Structure 1
Amino acid sequence: MNITENAKTVLEKRYLIRDAQGKALETVPQLFQRVASAIAQADRNYDPQADVEKTAQEFYDTMTDLRFLPNSPTLMNAGRDLGQLSACFVLPVGDSMEEIFEAVKQAALIHKSGGGTGFSFSRLRPRGSVVNSTGGVASGPISFMKVFNTATEAVKQGGTRRGANMGILQVDHPDILDFISCKSDNSEINNFNISVAVTEGFMQAVHAGEDYPLIDPRTKQEVGRLNAREVYDKIVDAAWRNGEPGIVFIDRLNRDNVVPSQGRIESTNPCGEQPLLPYESCNLGSINLAQMVKGEGKKEIDWDKLGQTVDTAIHFLDNVIDVNKYPIPEIDRVTKLTRKVGLGVMAFADLLMLLGVPYNSQEGVEIGQQVMGFIQRRAKEQSCRLAEQRGAFPLFGESIYKDETPIRNATVTTIAPTGTLSIIAGVSGGVEPVFAFAFIRNVMDGDELIEVNPLLRRRLEERGLYSDELMKKVIAQGSLQHIDEIPQDIKDVFVCAHDVSPQWHIRMQAAFQKHTDNAVSKTVNFPHSATREDVDKVYQLAYELGCKGVTIYRDGSRGSQVLNIGKVSKEAKSDEEPQAEPSSAQQQNRLEPRPRPAVTMGITEKVKIGCGNLYVTVNYDENGICEVFTNTGRHGGCPSQSEATARLVSIALRSGIDVQTIIGQLKGIRCPSTIRQPGMKVTSCPDAIARAIEKVMRSQNGGQMPSAVQEMERELNQGAREEEVDHSIAGMRFCPECGAPVVHEGGCVICRQCGYSKCG
């Protein structure tokens, strides 16, 4: 396989089968052989004489050529005992204690198996309603969302990542105002993405400035009225503040409900791209568009290759439905009634760069529409061919397609985020523009490795322009657009997410939505200086252009910024945040930690301890070492103890306590689980932390920040208010596993260095 070292590392770390001691039991090629062979077996369900070896080879070649990759649960679990291959599920939440906690249990089983869940809480009676059976008072949807959130926190998803959820509430629910603000505190409900289900009637009332009714979901009676524009403005304000909630145009989801006889679509998967009926699941996969070009010099789309890949991918995804081991019997039954699949794309930004077309251009939008239109037509044609051999989906006779040619799958296309998949393929994610063209990777000996987008590097080398010094300027600026040494024709094509105006983000999303059965996962990036009116305009444009939902993120709007790109005004502060009064500690002349810096660099070291592996990250800025955090491996122990030690060390470091004093206090502490095992290089978790700090002191010449990062630091907003770091999406700046910056894509954060991802 022609994969990058980073892709190989991600596959080895997250996807290979391992024994109880963590030793890999398969190679990367064997992983794909395992998956291809397992999925090909479904052919025998329809033809006992089927040549499954030939099918397996076709699937293997398509994956290892990086033309198509299925979603992560399929790569992880196909051919293994767990066998759960779906990424997306929607569960119903009924208005009784029994139904609510049945959904909690089912969600836990799904998270354990590696899937994500979507819920609508719109059926729950509002807060303050009388409960007839007990005479008590209902606590409302928000309180039960917190129950689901806590349960998610307790379940480690598939042994590799925490569970992700989507929470949706209908805009006419009486508790809608509480829902809009329920994530204003970034530490609350942090395993959920949330979206308001907006109706056509509500949007019409917004435009007319009229009131609209609030409906009690239990009695179906009007219980109040709100001004639609005021509610809409609250949604816009909350999204402007920290990106939550998103909006889902719920009537549009149901306009494309293939089997309305089975009920209304109420919710989507965690990233919003897959609307599903209760108990439905969907199997996703993505075509790598960077592989779909041909020609020397001037490139063009290879339509034949793309068509063949679509055919193989739809065959693959239909087989997944049959070999899948579903976590709940009802999901097995309902999924097979409609046999929904979701074929999407990754590397669209790379395709445009190969073609020499700007992302933020009408030509780019037209190519997006052309490519997705082709994929949609070809996917439906292949699904119809499969129906000839295998039969249409069981509910075809009562579907919206009943008078048309029989089709195997009720839906065939979905645009998913492809966070980790795009790392494996070494390309840009989904239909997003490139987030950053270059970044610095630190290694243990203190050297700086400059990572550069391979397409940009190749173009600059062809023109004799490439140099490490130039790339450091790109890193510091976050963009090519203001660098004089780079010609304008290259700047026009190599645009990153923050060079693309929010309007072009929406136009591109709408172009793909026109030819997508389900929906499009996309994040609309705003600069820090964007106003609420800017967010309003994008929401209105999304509504006008036919999008099914909108997710936005304003750079720097969350207390713990993911990664600032480009220049941010040093004077930029929220006009609603007054200057803080001196703290009591300052007034009494006590030590107080300096704020955590906006940019740090650091190293992560893997250390073997008595109960497993400990990963110690030590970060520093121009003032020295400022932060330590730890993460235990799958078989590690005492995570709370090591985290507590790391937090106290971080506070001490930023309070000015001498580093050598801290090292002296920690070094040599002994733990029985470590000292009783011969050959250990450390004596405990605190000892490992001390030794990692000591290495940084040596390798980084006292912990001084490299000059390129100092440049980046100066470009960032020094006035932005710093808040406590947590490990929710809202609070995540750096990867908790390797310490690299993470980025927002399609409702998730993704670390493009080690493959860590989190949604919700």
Structure 2
Amino acid sequence: MSVFADTIYRQKYAQEGENWPDTARRVAEAVMGPYLPELVEEMTQLITDRKFVPGGRYLYAAGKPFHQVQNCLLMKVGDSREEWADLMRRVTSGLMTGAGVGVVYSDLRENGAPVKGMGGTSTGPLALMEMVNEAGRHIMQGGSRRSAIWAGLHWWHPDIFEFIGMKNWSDAVRNLKEKDFNFPARMDGTNISVILDDAFFEAFHNPDHLLHEHAQLVYWQTVTAMLTTAEPGFSVDVGENAGEHLRNACTEITSRDDNDICNLGSITLPRISGPEEMARVVELATAFLLCGTLYSLTPYAEVDVTRTKNRRLGLGLMGVAEWLAMRSKPYGPDPELAELLTIYATSTEIAHRYADQLGVSRPIKTRAMAPTGTLAIIAETTSSLEPVFATAYKRRYLKGEDWHYQYVVEPIAARLAEAGIDPDTIDTAYSLAEDPERRIAFQAWVQRFVDHGISSTLNLPAFEKQSFSIPAFGNMLIKHLPDLRGVTCYPDGSRGGQPLTAVPYAEANGWEGYEYEEVGSGQACASGVCGV
């Protein structure tokens, strides 16, 4: 591992005295040993070689007394005071065990609606969203990891317009966020999405539809917010996925059922030698995640009931952009990649076969592409479907109560540079930012092979620097939305204290591994060696 990858691994996942091969063995033996012991050695080697990397909760919790290795919870909340209280119970229990939470609030009556039993009026769904956000602010997972939270509201809800604008912070708040990332702002720990269903697209495209004007207003106000303040995004559940609108915190796992749970691990595509090895890795990784549904504890009893029914797996991919770049292929659809994705899609049949062998329910769905932030760093590849963010960047992270950063040279950029290829020729999120349709179209193409969702953030220039208009972007996006499960945008600098900031390759090259502590608007070198 590089110095930076090793630093993140030890900071986040290593138990005392462990090296990466030790972690691989601990995880494989704990998760697969009781159920498929004949596969433990092969899985240990796959993890050691970083051809398959289980989700972070597996790396952190496998083998511990409290071994909750499945992660984010998918919830909805009903319209009564008892169900409000019950949601806070479930959220608190989930967050305190390391799970993220995603909640759909569409069943709640609107702000100002009468409450007959108690008298008075309802405060509406946004108030409960903020209560959950504040719970996440004060529950530090593992002592250093911010709680991950998502909130969704359907396009037809009466409070949807206030929801769309709820993260449009004032300039004063933005400035305070820039100075201190921990400064509290409304919903600052929660990602938000407007939920679109089949009825939305019918209303949007039909001028005679009773809700046509409403659908148009919701869409264009959301698009404007996406291009300016970054949120909300869109969550799309249409056709065969209709009704599957519950999401985990990063939105790649979807469900119809309350108290569902995600279950993640990713294949590192650039480390796979070809179709034959891909087939074996997909089989082993699918079997591993299925064992995880038997091994993992849950934060409260209702989760186990839903998990036993659905047994969702979230087998993902990372390094797609690196795989393309190492073959001098552009970021986009590719026949050779399609062959590997077709093999990847066999996870459904594999999961059913192993479920029958183990005598458990067959998983409803098996594939999801999670963002794989720290896992991609450990695997030294690009995250999920994302293009190379930048050839070099600063990455901010919380260590104890203080924010630090390190320079990161993108591994693919370093490898191409060593091969004599100019890193500046690589497709990056920054170079693709002026061509958003290329990003969106590629995500829609890959979605054909993924039965859950793809968590992917469309990086864009700052609003004032965007070369495309709001109408042009919106007209492009509406063409592709029915083929997506969701989309999120991030205009550069739209959130104070953003964790990744691109820097020139030459600035970071040679200074990887030095750790800097942020002090006010300046910096202090926490490693004791100030390289810049």
**Post-superposition offset of 1:539:** 2.3
Match in the other structure for 1:414: 368
Match in the other structure for 2:267: 287
CA contact (8 A) 1:503 1:541 kept: no
**Post-superposition offset of 1:617:** 3.0
1:193 equivalenced with 2:191 (yes/no): yes
Match in the other structure for 2:217: 230
CA contact (8 A) 2:259 2:302 kept: yes
Structure with max Cα Rg: 1
> CA–CA distance in 2 between the matches of 1:513 and 1:327?
31
Match in the other structure for 1:518: 452
**Post-superposition offset of 1:39:** 0.6
1:161 equivalenced with 2:158 (yes/no): no
Cα distance change of structure 1 residues 561 and 149 upon mapping to structure 2, 3 Å threshold: closer
**Post-superposition offset of 1:604:** 11
Match in the other structure for 2:323: 351
CA contact (8 A) 2:4 2:513 kept: no
> CA–CA distance in 2 between the matches of 1:97 and 1:368?
50
What residue identity is the alignment partner of 1:195?
S
1:498 paired residue among 427, 430, 447: 430
CA contact (8 A) 2:39 2:284 kept: no
Q: Deviations over 1:117-141 (max 9, x none)?
A: 1101111111111111111110101
Cα distance change of structure 1 residues 455 and 525 upon mapping to structure 2, 3 Å threshold: closer
1:82 paired residue among 66, 72, 85: 66
CA contact (8 A) 1:604 1:616 kept: no
> CA–CA distance in 2 between the matches of 1:284 and 1:458?
28
* 3-state SS, counterpart of residue 101 of structure 2: strand
CA contact (8 A) 2:95 2:141 kept: yes
Match in the other structure for 2:491: 554
> CA–CA distance in 1 between the matches of 2:523 and 2:340?
46
CA contact (8 A) 1:129 1:138 kept: yes
Q: Deviations over 1:168-203 (max 9, x none)?
A: 111111111111111112621111100011122222
CA contact (8 A) 1:506 1:541 kept: no
CA contact (8 A) 1:256 1:517 kept: no
Match in the other structure for 2:475: 537
Cα distance change of structure 1 residues 128 and 460 upon mapping to structure 2, 3 Å threshold: closer
Match in the other structure for 2:157: 173
**Post-superposition offset of 1:410:** 1.2
Match in the other structure for 1:745: none
1:249 equivalenced with 2:236 (yes/no): yes
**Post-superposition offset of 1:409:** 1.5
> CA–CA distance in 1 between the matches of 2:322 and 2:210?
45
Cα distance change of structure 1 residues 266 and 338 upon mapping to structure 2, 3 Å threshold: same
Aligned runs of 1:114-153 on 2, under 5 Å? 114-153=98-137
**Post-superposition offset of 1:560:** 5.1
CA contact (8 A) 2:460 2:490 kept: yes
1:27 equivalenced with 2:19 (yes/no): yes
Aligned residues with identical type, % of pairs: 29
**Post-superposition offset of 1:618:** 4.3
CA contact (8 A) 1:83 1:325 kept: yes
> CA–CA distance in 2 between the matches of 1:504 and 1:365?
13
* 3-state SS, counterpart of residue 28 of structure 2: helix
CA contact (8 A) 1:206 1:228 kept: yes
* 3-state SS, counterpart of residue 50 of structure 2: coil
Cα distance change of structure 1 residues 66 and 275 upon mapping to structure 2, 3 Å threshold: same
Q: Deviations over 1:628-651 (max 9, x none)?
A: 68xxxxxxxxxxxxxxxxxxxxxx
Unpaired runs of 5+ residues, structure 2, are 175-184, 397-405
> CA–CA distance in 2 between the matches of 1:337 and 1:451?
42
**Post-superposition offset of 1:210:** 5.4
1:426 paired residue among 367, 380, 385: 380
Match in the other structure for 1:60: 44
> CA–CA distance in 1 between the matches of 2:13 and 2:268?
19
Match in the other structure for 1:437: 391
> CA–CA distance in 2 between the matches of 1:96 and 1:419?
37
**Post-superposition offset of 1:41:** 2.9
* 3-state SS, counterpart of residue 366 of structure 2: coil
Relative contact order: is structure 1 or structure 2 higher (C-alpha 8 Å, sep ≥ 6)? 2
2:245 paired residue among 261, 266, 271: 266
What residue identity is the alignment partner of 2:461?
P
Q: Deviations over 1:605-657 (max 9, x none)?
A: 99xxxxxxxx95347xxxxxx5368xxxxxxxxxxxxxxxxxxxxxxxxxxxx
Aligned runs of 1:272-671 on 2, under 5 Å? 272-276=251-255, 277-293=257-273, 302-359=274-331, 361=332, 364-377=333-346, 379-391=347-359, 393=361, 408-439=362-393, 452-463=409-420, 480=424, 491=425, 494-500=426-432, 501-528=435-462, 529-530=465-466, 531-544=469-482, 546-558=483-495, 616-618=517-519, 626-627=521-522
What residue identity is the alignment partner of 1:238?
A
What residue identity is the alignment partner of 1:386?
Y
**Post-superposition offset of 1:460:** 3.8
TM-score (norm 2): 0.86
* 3-state SS, counterpart of residue 134 of structure 2: helix
> CA–CA distance in 2 between the matches of 1:390 and 1:603?
46
Q: More displaced, 554-563 or 91-100? A: 554-563
What residue identity is the alignment partner of 1:282?
C
Cα distance change of structure 1 residues 337 and 183 upon mapping to structure 2, 3 Å threshold: same
Cα distance change of structure 1 residues 373 and 436 upon mapping to structure 2, 3 Å threshold: same
* 3-state SS, counterpart of residue 161 of structure 1: coil
TM-score (norm 1): 0.61
> CA–CA distance in 2 between the matches of 1:27 and 1:310?
25
Q: Deviations over 1:636-692 (max 9, x none)?
A: xxxxxxxxxxxxxxxxxxxxxxxxxxxxxxxxxxxxxxxxxxxxxxxxxxxxxxxx7
Q: How many residues align?
A: 496
> CA–CA distance in 1 between the matches of 2:495 and 2:262?
32
> CA–CA distance in 2 between the matches of 1:458 and 1:149?
41
> CA–CA distance in 2 between the matches of 1:604 and 1:423?
13
**Post-superposition offset of 1:412:** 1.0
**Post-superposition offset of 1:26:** 3.3
CA contact (8 A) 2:316 2:367 kept: yes
Cα distance change of structure 1 residues 452 and 557 upon mapping to structure 2, 3 Å threshold: closer
**Post-superposition offset of 1:388:** 3.6
CA contact (8 A) 1:197 1:250 kept: yes
Cα distance change of structure 1 residues 342 and 265 upon mapping to structure 2, 3 Å threshold: same
1:93 equivalenced with 2:77 (yes/no): yes
Q: Deviations over 1:399-433 (max 9, x none)?
A: xxxxxxxxx32111111111111111111100111
Q: Deviations over 1:20-52 (max 9, x none)?
A: xxxx24333322221111112331xxxxxx6x2
**Post-superposition offset of 1:452:** 3.9
Match in the other structure for 1:203: 201
CA contact (8 A) 1:42 1:322 kept: no
CA contact (8 A) 2:133 2:187 kept: yes
**Post-superposition offset of 1:228:** 2.3
> CA–CA distance in 1 between the matches of 2:501 and 2:145?
25
> CA–CA distance in 2 between the matches of 1:71 and 1:534?
38
* 3-state SS, counterpart of residue 193 of structure 2: strand
Cα distance change of structure 1 residues 414 and 66 upon mapping to structure 2, 3 Å threshold: same
What residue identity is the alignment partner of 1:539?
L
**Post-superposition offset of 1:350:** 1.0
What residue identity is the alignment partner of 2:489?
I
Match in the other structure for 1:685: none
CA contact (8 A) 1:604 1:618 kept: no
CA contact (8 A) 1:282 1:335 kept: no
What residue identity is the alignment partner of 1:159?
G
> CA–CA distance in 2 between the matches of 1:127 and 1:440?
42
What residue identity is the alignment partner of 1:292?
I
CA contact (8 A) 1:157 1:163 kept: yes
